[in-house]
Amino acid sequence: MKSIELFAGAGGLALGTESAGFKHEAVVELNRNACDTIKRNTELGSIDWPLFPGDVAEFGFSHYRDVDLVSGGPPCQPFSIGGKHRGHTDKRNLFPEVVRAVRETQPRAVLVENVKGLLRPGFAKFFEYVLLQISYPDLVQKDGEDWVEHLSRLEQYQTNGSKDGLYYKPVFRCLNAADYGVPQKRERVFIVAFRGDVITEPGFSFPNPTHSKAELLRSKWITGEYWDRHKVATHSRPKRPANVQCLLSLGDDVQPWRTVRDAISDLPDPRKPNDVANHKHNPGARVYGGHTGSPLDEPAKTLKAGDHGVPGGENMLAHPNGTVRYFSVRESARLQTFPDDYVFEGSWTETMRQLGNAVAVNVASQVASRIRETLERQPMERRQHVGGK
């Protein structure tokens, strides 16, 4: 199945959709360092993507009317808790470019990822606007019409009876990456939309969690399997909490949350010489108010890019003895479930920014796999484009 990837960044979402069976016809990214990362991995043979380095607003989609999926994570700073919260007034709000890509390519499915902050009450009206624009991409904003007026017109169209022409059926959910095997607590909003003529039985639903906090607690404090697996001596283990006495297993299909230790324990200490790509120590980590690092035996805190540099608290490892150090780039890539043969270009700050902005690969893969499965269930005679109006 063919796809187009917008706002590709370092390639997390693109890797996930590719692993789910989509072949990228175009990968669009503006940031120079992220483009260097994609180019380097292409040279190494890790990927084979047709990269278009530049502004998505200048990209033409007219030659891509046969794609099955348009996916992308528009810049999240307008909606991020760590950003300035400008939302629709922020020049980095590029949701309109997603809608343009949908309008011009008419894919069978759409996948959009963004920060949890998009669901904040203050953005509720704008989030409705985003969903309605995806639903009716042909109903474009008129000259002189502000976004609130455009929203009203979309609402009227949504409620005025039968529809014709190009339309989509969107659903959304906030997913925690830790629930899908990612060693990081990372909540992100995923919007999935199918073109109106895509009819399958049953329809699409988001994947069920494969990992849980309860199972991690159980493996630590009921069975002890977690500590045994990592060869942590009894006297070196933390004190057992009092509130886990009655934990029950959730079943064989649900595994424990993965921790930082699970993700990086087989890597050498980055403070010592090693031959692992992107695995060098960056000095200067320190603890201060609100910045205490990620505990070794929990999923990491959300890696963040930061509006002004990299926030150290989210990108530090906190050892059980109280010492801290910055994660190496390779360790951060493990926390985002990038494969080890995928390398990153740029300074430590720039590569950490790429990783902080990235979509966790495992989550992207699982959501995209459900999209592919849904599309594959559509009868062949209906796998065709509908006309726009």
Quick one: which of 106, 181, 174 has its CA closest to 136?
Answer: 106
CA distance 237 to 255: 21
Report the alpha-carbon distance of residue 47 to residue 349 in Å, rounded. 24
Q: Report how far residue 34's alpha carbon sits from residue 41's, in angstroms, rounded to the nearest whole number.
A: 11
Element (H, E) at 355: helix 348-357
**Using CA atoms, how far apart are residues 255 and 223, in angstroms rounded to an integer?**
13
Strand order in the sheet with 324-326: 294-295, 316-318, 324-326
State how far the Cα of 174 lies from the Cα of 131, in Å rounded to an integer: 15
**DSSP code of residue 47:** -
Residues forming the active site = 76
Structure tokens at 208: 């069920």
Give CA–CA dist 83/80, Å, rounded: 5
**Torsion-angle region of residue 306: left (phi > 0), alpha (psi -120 to 50) or beta?**
left
